[in-house]
Amino acid sequence: MKKIVFSFLVIGLLSSLTYSKGKDKKTFIEKVEANKPVKVFFNYNTEIIDKSHEKKLKQADKNAKTDCRSTLPSGFYSSTIKDGIISHLNSGLELEGAFVEGDISSVPKDGLKMGGLNLSSLEDGFYAVFYVDGDYTRFLSKKEVEGKTVFEYKNNLQIMSKLFFYEVVDHKMKAYGSRTGLVLGLVSSSSLVTSNLENTEYMQINFPASALLDSYTQKSFSNVDDFTRKKLKKHKKVISKR
């Protein structure tokens, strides 16, 4: 009988510890507070390219590059964007000065990692990466017209920014939250259909990246606001139940 009672006491103690551990898990806001100032590294791909085309070329030659490429306008990673992202993070989470811009020159780039940076050389802590990338699409499709097969290309431009969070422990980099990042400024031009594979000049003339900048900026900020609103609401809910 004593053994049975003892067993129940042990089980109860373990359950209590497990519950306590789960209950004491830090919220996102507590994670930020414990590591502030949290550095935000603003990274970007300097070129807009046809990624699909380049991927196909590399299957035959790993050094091959698509000739459909142009420069990403600096407005997509300007001080207006940087200051705005940091300001919206701090105000939305009600944490003044918690997020600051990090010196990207101190961090090596790594195209194999989400966000394009290798943070493992940094000291232990919590970090964020804001990444901007552009992509030309020249998608080949076919359809039947009066019994004949017709090929056509659907062309457009897409620019997207994402926000990633990482923890660095003992020089090991681990994603916090979504590994694929939080989509912020996803914008696309209207598609145009052509019968031929168009070149860079055509893409630049018909899909000017600058025309998407205002929409990109607004979406980047509003989606950060949505993110912080949810995190703040969850934080307050967790705290109220402790």
**223's tokens:** 């989606």
**162's tokens:** 């994402």
- Residue 25's pLDDT band, with cuts at 50, 70 and 90, is confident
pTM of the model: 0.84
17, pLDDT greater than 80:
no
Domain boundaries, the chain: 27-240
Averaged pLDDT, 39-52:
95
Strand pairing partners for 161?
132
Q: What stretches of 24-174 show up as alpha helix (H) in DSSP?
A: 28-35, 51-58, 79-92
With a CB cutoff of 8 Å and minimum separation 6, the contacts of 22 are: none
3, pLDDT greater than 80:
no
CA angle 78, 211, 41 (to 5 degrees): 25
Judge contact between 42 and 116, C-beta under 8 A.
no
Mean pLDDT over the full length of the chain: 89
15, pLDDT greater than 80:
no
150, pLDDT greater than 90:
no
Measured CA to CA, the distance from residue 157 to residue 212 in angstroms comes to 9
Instruction: Give the pLDDT confidence of 66-103 residue by residue, as tens digits.
Output: 999 999 999 999 999 999 999 999 999 999 999 999 99
- Percent pLDDT > 90 in the chain is 79
- Residue 112's pLDDT band, with cuts at 50, 70 and 90, is low
pLDDT for residue 109:
84
Amino acid identity, position 69: R
- Among the ranges given (110-114, 220-224, 228-232), the one the predictor scored with the smallest mean pLDDT: 110-114
